[in-house]
Structure 1
């Protein structure tokens, strides 16, 4: 080989070595960084992995009821799975608007060594009925304004707002009642405004539900202890059984969890992996109990009759007399023209019967014959919690020909079916999916409402009743927002394919409170979720059953499961929507 050939070969070899040296420096690092970035995104994005899992399931034409996400054995550190911190991307803006909508006025901080004497005290607080238009008499159609002054245990006026107050105007003689609108002035004073809707006597009632300091505590607990209630699932295979704790959010790495996130709705649910069995061996769901961290000092903020569910008194008159409506005056000064605060109740009670103010005429369905006639040829599907089950049980009890089938299902959760063959009536009930605090029930019966709605054909003879609220109070509001937005989309799909379907949605209601319950199922939490529900379904063609005001305005005590007279009024409203021409 000549010198020139040797030089060419040597040049090529040296050029190759130079290229190999330069390529990693210029391109290799970029390529490796890109690979690392893609892997990082895959490991850290639960939604991405869930999306891939869903697509694989679709390709296999399978929809498994449970699934454990497969993760690398050495996944990046992730200490918890808290899906409530991120709703679906398309819903993020609406979720933020809803959170702003229910934002509570600023409340005082509660340090560990706070003084109870500086906090709200109902016995020292007062309300005063304000004079009406220069002292003239009150008439039907007028507005009654009441000034509420909140004081502390020393009788000193509070300087900030944020207390939870309920106001009611009632007359026990004629069994009349209406809820007042309470305006927070953020300085320790409030105005309650009532619409005057009946003639005769009217008694003002103001109740302190919670002090502003208690609200501070409840807000903190709801964020810091979302797992203060927990659930259990039983896993079984052959003769081997194990139990595990489950919840929306569990404090553990992903590889230690079974992921039961619903594929269709994206609703999250997790259980700790059993030690011996597999995730697919889960067979039951049940309420596990409470894990509240003790708050010995803060518990002083939850004393019945002192600073929780406590009456506020008036140093002067607490009653007024309402005279007949003045037509000439009301033509010049329309109702709800106070100029400062307006009361716009959704309805009121008179003679014990609910009177809506939205133009709906409520008929009385007082016997089995008229109820059966209304439901003739109807299919009524009820989805929700035990407050919806009350309605199912009421209709069964009041219509003997509507026979409930014994399906050997759990008595508290169902599902239930009732039939009246002669009238061609079908009535069903199914509880909503987790988180539902229930006795043990098979996981096969844990169905999400949105999925159930997608299986409803719908028609002019179909009625859908939904009530989802009470079991979501212990979680951050994102959990409830995500659930309702999922249900709303399913309702809209149903009404698109079957516009004649009647959809009725039950709102929340206040309840009897005890100190331990204030950290789990409390009126303050219910009030916020009630507002969220109304806002989410405001523009949807559904009927709202106004359980909040129907419970608060009634003379009977608040109860999570309203007593029979209130249930009867609720059923009358429902049947009046179904059969506007029937009733008594």
Structure 2
């Protein structure tokens, strides 16, 4: 009886201890966010740790400086707080005017159209400095045609938008103010000083005990000891706060923690109002429409070189027509796609915008069957096989920072390392898209990541010259609510310019997602609609099968 009583009391005590331990663990998991995020607010006045990672060579330092200089944005005349809202750019009171053609002549295909944009503030006064972020498009709904305009900032409140005239008929000018110059100044400060405004977390677990801590490219060391997950091959830095009761090797996964709020003042928040001063159209002073006549043979070569205007292509009947480079082919049927990709392995690395390509091909090829790898559909990795045509599709997300829900630690791979593991060759296709998840970081972080990827691509092409590599650029998106503070089109535009500079001169296909989205009639979206995705994939396939394989529809 006595021994049974002792055993009984021992079981009760053990159960109570287990219950206390479980409650403590749950409390830790529920309250981690308050403590760790509160600590992150102290990060706002610190200098970002741009020195982390492998030091660049002198040539890379020079390249980085040139790239950063190339994306420099006009600075406003004030250095402290922005002016009152009434003194900032107001798209509703701003106007654009179509510049008359020379000597009042008619306009023909091959000419250039110029539009002059006058920015005014909320009290109707002309702006006297530049830095506003504008987008321009010339389009014809009747023909489902469109081309992106090239915007020139005269830095005095005036802007020029220029378009090559590429099709005949009626065409309409559309000018949009994405952000005022005052808002861009706020975004620039957030990018340089608040890279923590999107924060990441990792779960650590050992047996029944688990803890969650904040992770990022750089973390303040005075908030606690760090776990160093810097990649040993590429040198890409990544850190997490060390759990209180577990070791760094107990890390289970990676996930987006959330978005920090109150990162701007109430006065600055007035610069980011939907339907007021974020992505709002600017109207024409008189007419916004022109009529374009057919190209005149007697006039000789076109007066406008679209390539020199940095126009990569345009839409006609919803079909993208590139200007220069690889001729575009339409892969409208499954047989055309299958013929092009027969006996090929297609590797897709990056964010969700290249995952769209995987999903498009999966749906476009009826013989393609997806393997169930027991991974989340929006995270991956994903794999599909068309055994009839011997086609293999694989998708894998890029390494941190990545704002997916949850990625297991073992699946966190850097693109450069994955590329170094490929044999490559004529039957290998690589598609890359890496941009959106870097919008909250200083440009140096993105330059470093792309530099590692470029080196890996160069090594791949050196050992397997027949490998086809396509790189997808950034694209604009909808900017409702406070999206601008984390994923503004201004951030994306800067990343787009960096990507083009880093991959310039390399034997890869650059799929111009930016202009393909700006020129299209569909509204902007982080994940473009299928009509645009089809054109992107067709552009990639045109490059993959530029030797004539596949159906030329």
Aligned-pair CA distance for 1:395:
0.5
With over 3 angstroms needed to count, the CA separation of the structure-2 counterparts of 1:254 and 1:496, relative to structure 1, is farther
Correspondence 1:356 to 2:322: yes
1:318 is matched with which residue: 253, 274, 288? 288
Given the alignment of the two structures, is residue 104 of structure 1 paired with residue 70 of structure 2, yes or no? no
Which residue does 1:446 correspond to in 2? 412
The CA distance in 2 between the partners of 1:143 and 1:86, in whole Å, is 47
Report the Cα offset of residue 104 of structure 1.
0.5
Superposition deviation, residue 108 in structure 1: 4.0
Give the SS at the match of 2:143: coil
- 8 Å Cα contact 1:80/1:254 also seen in 2: no
- After TM superposition, the structure 1 = structure 2 runs for residues 471-510 of structure 1, keeping only pairs within 5 Å, are 471-510=437-476
- Once the two structures are overlaid, the 10-residue window that deviates more, 433-442 or 446-455, is 433-442
Change (3 A) 1:505 1:523: same
Pair 1:83–1:115, CA change in 2 (3 A): closer
| TM-aligned CA deviation for residue 263 of structure 1 | 0.6
Per the normalisation by structure 1, the TM-score is 0.84
1:243 Cα deviation from its structure 2 partner: 0.6
Which runs of 5 or more structure 2 residues have no equivalent in the other structure?
A: 1-44
Q: Which runs of 4+ in 1 moved over 4 A?
A: 79-82, 110-113
Alpha-carbon distance between aligned partners in 1 of 2:111 and 2:56, rounded to the nearest angstrom: 47
Query: Is the contact between residue 305 and residue 311 of structure 1 (CA under 8 Å) also seen in structure 2?
Result: no
Residue 83 (structure 1) shift: 3.9
> In 1, Cα distance between the equivalents of 2:211 and 2:156?
55
Q: Deviations over 1:306-356 (max 9, x none)?
A: 21101001121110000011222234x73349xxx9733100000110000
Deviation of 1:81 (Å): 9.2
| Whole-angstrom distance in 1 between the partners of 2:256 and 2:347 | 25
Whether the 8 Å CA contact 1:287–1:439 is kept in 2: the answer is yes
> For the residues of structure 2 that align with 1:486 and 1:135, how far apart are their CA atoms?
53
Question: How many matched pairs?
Answer: 502
Q: After alignment, is 442-451 or 101-110 more displaced?
A: 101-110
The residue aligned with 1:197 is 166
1:238 to 207, 225, 232: 207
2:393 alignment partner in structure 1: 427
Call closer, same or farther: CA 1:220–1:451 in 2, change over 3 Å. same
1:14-53 equivalence runs, <5 A:
none
CA contact under 8 A between 1:81 and 1:249: conserved in structure 2?
no
* 1:110–1:216 Cα contact (<8 Å) kept: no
Partner of residue 334, structure 1: 303
Quick one: distance in 1 between partners of 2:182 and 2:170? Answer: 35
Q: CA RMSD in A?
A: 1.8
Q: CA deviation at 1:503?
A: 0.5
2:123 equivalent among 154, 160, 180: 154
Counting only pairs closer than 5 Å after superposition, residues 522-533 of structure 1 correspond to structure 2 as 522-533=488-499
Question: How far is the alpha carbon of 1:305 from its aligned partner?
Answer: 2.4
Decide whether aligned partners of structure 1 residues 560 and 447 sit closer, same or farther in structure 2, where only a CA change above 3 A counts.
Answer: same
Tell me, in whole angstroms, the C-alpha distance in 1 between the residues paired with 2:224 and 2:88: 46
Contact in 2 for aligned 1:508/1:547 (Cα 8 Å): yes
Does 2:333 align with 1:367? yes
1:256 matched to 2:225? The reply is yes
CA deviation after TM superposition for structure 1 residue 93, in Å = 1.7
Tell me which residue corresponds to 1:540. Answer: 506
Question: Which whole-Å CA distance do the structure 2 matches of 1:177 and 1:443 have between them?
Answer: 44
1:386 to 343, 348, 352: 352
- Aligned equivalent of 1:300: 270
1:289-317 Cα offsets, whole Å, 9 max, x none, are: 01132421111101122211010011211
1:128/1:315 contact within 8 Å kept: yes
Distance 1:399 1:271 in 2: 42
Shift in Å, 1:146: 0.5
* 1:440 CA displacement: 1.3
Aligned partners of 2:379 and 2:406 also within 8 Å: no
- Work out the CA distance in 2 between the residues paired with 1:189 and 1:82: 35
Cα distance in 2 for partners of 1:394, 1:185 equals 42
Q: Is the 8 A contact 2:461 2:467 kept in 1?
A: yes
Q: For 1:467, which of 433, 444, 447 is the aligned residue?
A: 433
What TM-score do the two structures reach when normalised by structure 2? 0.88
Are residues 134 and 86 of structure 1, via their aligned partners in 2, closer, same or farther at CA, if it must alter by over 3 Å? Answer: farther
Q: 2:154 matched to 1:185? A: yes
Deviations 1:529-577 (A, max 9, x none): 0000001001111000110000000000000000111111111111111
SS of structure 1 residue aligned to 2:63? helix
- Alignment of 1:458 onto 2:428: no
SS at match of 1:308: coil
Which residue in 1 is equivalent to 2:177?
Answer: 208
Aligned-partner SS, 2:424: coil
Cross-structure match for 1:7: none
In the TM superposition, residue 82 of structure 1 has moved relative to its aligned partner by: 4.6
The more displaced of 572-581 and 502-511 is 572-581
Secondary structure in structure 2 of the residue aligned to 1:263? coil
Deviations 1:134-185 (A, max 9, x none): 1100000000010000000111110000000000000000000001111100
Q: Could you tell me which of 258, 268, 279 is aligned with 1:309?
A: 279
Shift of 1:360: 2.4
Corresponding residue number in structure 2 for 1:93: 62
- Give the Å deviation of 1:464: 0.5
Aligned with residue 411 of structure 1, among 372, 377, 393: 377
Structure-1 separation of matches of 2:242 and 2:187: 31
Answer whether contact 1:108 1:212 (CA < 8 A) is retained. no
Q: How far apart, CA to CA, are the structure 2 residues paired with 1:487 and 1:350?
A: 34
- For the 8 Å contact 1:183–1:190, the answer to whether it is kept is yes
Distance in 1 separating the partners of 2:46 and 2:420: 32
